[in-house]
Structure 1
Amino acid sequence: MLKSLLLPLLCGCVLLQDAPVDAQEPKVDCETTEIQVEMTFCSEQQYNVADKRLNSQYQAARKVMKAWDADAMEGSDSADAAFVKAQRAWVAYRDAQCESYGFQGHGGSIEPQLIYDCQRDLTEKRTAEIKELAEAMGN
């Protein structure tokens, strides 16, 4: 008896788990929202776009650095290794700087938005720096 009662409940749970993920995506107008959770969502999305652009520019610059290294004199320092080292240091700087920046709203619902906005801003600036470097190195 108990088994026959639990089976429909278990089946219902499985059906809920199989719901499409897209149905859970919020529909937010980032141009007009005044709701903090939506503003934070929009800031996160903007940061994600900036981060993808940075990663694309980073990969393009790595190709330039590797080509530079291939043409360099044997025994000279690696442009690619120096670039990777600089980028790793920059990521650590960005994350620490933005964590610090977020303290303006520490403990409040605006804190994550401040961090995402800071990360987006610094990421966009770094993307431009990497592009300039790649162009100077021969891209």
Structure 2
Amino acid sequence: MIVTAIAMIAAAIPPVPEWNCDDPQVQQEMNWCANQEYLEADAALNAQWKKTAAVMKLRDENFESTSDDRPGYFDTLLAAQRAWLTYRDTHCRSEGYYARGGSLEPLLVATCKTELTEGRTAQLAALVEI
């Protein structure tokens, strides 16, 4: 846990001290800042995942059916999440290909992943509100 915390702090320190994500000036700075936004969105997704997964496991425990042989709440959620991760990463790689091989590509990928991740976080939150 301590190693993870240190890694997250180190990741948030810009490689160039003058970089400022409030007003990025060069492409590398923009790319780094976009990736920081993605990392924040991913951390929020992981926090929401834990909450939603716990609720789904509880629903599985409380579900009583002798005639329903479909997967449980959690197994269904897990399969969906795995498929979504594959979709997100592949789709965003495709969006990055607009600038394939160029310095803009990492920005396009990170921005796409941030948008989709924020949307998925909201979807996971909505599942526990139902």
Q: TM-score normalized by structure 1?
A: 0.78
Residues 34-63 of structure 1: CA deviation (Å, up to 9, x unaligned): 200000000010000000000000010000
2:14 and 2:45 map into 1 onto residues whose CA distance is 28
Unpaired runs of 5+ residues, structure 2, are 1-9
Q: CA deviation at 1:74?
A: 4.4
**CA–CA distance in 1 between the matches of 2:46 and 2:124?**
10
* Structure 2 Cα separation of the partners of residues 52 and 74 of structure 1: 36
Aligned to 2:21: 30
- Size of the aligned set, in residue pairs, is 116
Counterpart residue type for residue 25 of structure 2: E
- 1:103 deviates by 0.8
Aligned-partner Cα distance in 2 for 1:84–1:43 = 27
- 1:117 to 1:24, Cα distance in 2 relative to 1, 3 A: closer
Identity of aligned residues (%): 36
The answer on 1:127 being equivalent to 2:121 is yes
SS at match of 1:102: helix
Q: Distance in 1 between matches of 2:48 and 2:58?
A: 15
Q: Give the one of 89, 109, 117 matched to 1:95.
A: 89
Whole-angstrom CA distance in 1 between matches of 2:36 and 2:122 = 19
Residue 107 (structure 1) shift: 1.2
SS at match of 2:43: helix
Residue of structure 1 equivalent to 2:54 = 63
TM-score (structure 2 length as normaliser): 0.83
Distance 1:66 1:50 in 2: 24
Match of 1:45 in 2: 36
